[in-house]
Structure 1
Amino acid sequence: MIFYCGNKHRDEHQIHHRDLCKVILSMLNEMGAPNLFDKLKTADPDLWLKTRIDLMKKAKSKIGRQFQEYEEQMFLFPKTCVVCHDSDLSVLRNCECGVNLCKIHKDDSKHKELCGVLKLAFKLTVSGQLPTLNTIQTSLDISERSSLPPSMQDFLDLHLIFREETPEQNENFQGMVTSNFFSGPLTLLYAIEKLNYKVNSSMVIHIIGAGNQDVAAEGCWKTFLLRLTRLTNLKIVFIGPNVSNCLETAVHTFDYYPLAIKTLKVQFHSQRYDEYFKSESFINPDIILGCNLDFHESELGISECTWKDTILTLKKVCVPFVLTAGTKERAEKDHKRFCKLLGMSVHYKFCEVNPYAALSPERDFETEGVRYSNKYVIIYDGKYKESATLKKGEKKKLEGKSSIVKV
């Protein structure tokens, strides 16, 4: 299930993997097989996805705790051929992009198309120190007098300069990683323009399902103040079980001359959105953003279904909601799951490829290809009404080509 370079590192790690090791051994004994994926060779993507998730769920139930990320990856990205999912290690060869191919499929054309971007995803994953906002010099002039740059790459080329560069991290590499910081704010600016949303002098934005990356990017929300000239007071509220509670703090804006009279404040609430809504700390938002929430994964059984109360709360708050997803398939599944948990079929205003998606690829266990943070954007106006029939062409809005690679 997992490989070590030698006995020394295997023994060092044993205290951390001993409980999972015992669970896997017990499952192998029950199956009477040399590995968990023995004789599960299939080219059916749906069956293959279900097989991996079912085995992971069984292991989780036996171990009685949540898995760490690398433990989940042992099941979601097992050592099998990426084409036919043969698990015989004697016929597998590891490609430099990180995936395995059997002797029959070592020259698979589909893999050749994705190999380069998978190699990049692998490099980004295992790289050491990544760029931080402190290493970025901004040259922002994106007021409403000019148009937003047409894409994330154009935004980086026009407005960012990296103060530090190493042989391992050239400007393109740093730009791809840095795009993750700016993708959220730029996506929401894009959504506001699509909705023709009227912005006043003060604005409150709720970011639901927030994580560590959202917290790290708090300073990038200065772009909002620069872009929206009428906006002088901006408050960002990060809500999610994976952030730490924090009293309201101010983000310095005086390093940008145009922001001398503008303020940016942030709050962090470590709870689900429905819990925050019922708390005394709740502040009415003007708009809500949810990045890569993957509602549908709870239906697959990967995570607990904790989204229903949050989605019903969105209906009560009744303001525009912007949802993003990493692939077209994930966007479609998330919209269906959103409607199901809401208890009605609703229309979105827009659902399309997001020009401000992050540029760094990530390996996707659902498609066995790649995904990009915020690659698709779905925009709801907040007026959730039952729709009797699907809007003509609604599915066509999901169609589009990636500016980097077709996924």
Structure 2
Amino acid sequence: MSVVLNEEKLSTFQNYESAVRSYCRSWPTVFGRAKGYKLYDEDGREFIDFFAGAGALNYGHNHPKMQEEMVNYIKNDGIIHSLDMGTEKKRNFLERFQQIILKPRNLSYKIMFPGPTGTNAVESALKIARKVTGRKTVIHFTNAFHGMTIGSLSVTGNSMKRQGAGVPLHYTVTMPYDNYFPGANTAEYLEQFLEDRGSGVDLPAAVILETVQGEGGLQAARDEWLRKIADICKRWDMLLIIDDVQAGCGRTGTFFSFEQAKIEPDIVCLSKSISGSGLPMALTLIKPEHDRWQPGEHNGTFRGNNLAFITAAVALEYWKTEQFSMEIREKAALVTKRIADILDKYPQLQGEARGRGLMQGIAIPEEGLAQKISKQAFRCGLILETSGPKDEVLKFLPPLIIDNEGLHEGLDIVEQCMKFVLSK
């Protein structure tokens, strides 16, 4: 398929929508419907989705059971909006999350509904960490991305996004992520800063990190590095915050991305695919001893999205056994092998494999090349994002329910587009 752009159909967005719009510039068409791992524009053209709503659609578009549950609930005049009042659907989700996710992993967290976005989960995590410890500083890492509100931007590495704040971003310290300096142990670097009274670093309230940096270029931290960071936090009485907004909900193969490292964060931020359906929802998981909020101290009008509670409960069905996790790991192995084959076939790319699970990609050092490939992929029927500080990483983020045929078809398009772009 070759997509021919129709500027007239895009004129409404160009004339009336703010210049801040971004994804629609990468994929300039008007989408009409979606199912599973495929999108269709209003002219009926089909696209394989390797974007999955930036990780908000791990279970695919328009999951049939989620659709059915939502439609029946609406038809029966179910409560849609409820702030933080008790509702049947909220109770059902809380009980199922406890039984299916937390108890089998021997995890104990209070579940906070901070507002329906990932950045709100991060904001609430930063606030409670400072409240519990009585300290102000938070350590974050190079190339991190934690959201677009002021607190989240203060622990984000991307300079363009930080500048958008328009004010100084205080009370944070940037440290090098794992492998930021090749061959150096950056966890020991952090430890030295804390131990050295001449470092200028006050004892922090918390450390916040992503186990796989989604927007930062698919850098994946090693398990031993994560364990070392967790140990440092315990030693210095700092809270460890894991931002699992994009890497969580099965994206790396386990429900939480930190399970493989066998660490137990003090606070966990979830959003994107926690609702299962793409509906707005977020959780901040807080160890019970740290749950020191006063009633209403952090609130929001849209904490009680009951349609999201319904679809989130359906999504938890996937995690009753190990089967879904095993399937994700098998698909991830397929993607890993295909990436290795592509890198062998096109050595002129000087590419580097990145990520883990179904959150993988290829870093391409030549400036602009990854973006050209992504643009060509759209023309050929594949929705493919780039990430990294220079948009240098082709990012493969398909719905977790995609089958092997869909993975191969999408990766075939990637390879064809690489060949096309390199021949220019």
TM-score, length of structure 2 as denominator length:
0.32
Question: Rg: which structure is higher?
Answer: 1
Q: Which has the higher contact order (CA 8 A, sep 6+)?
A: 2
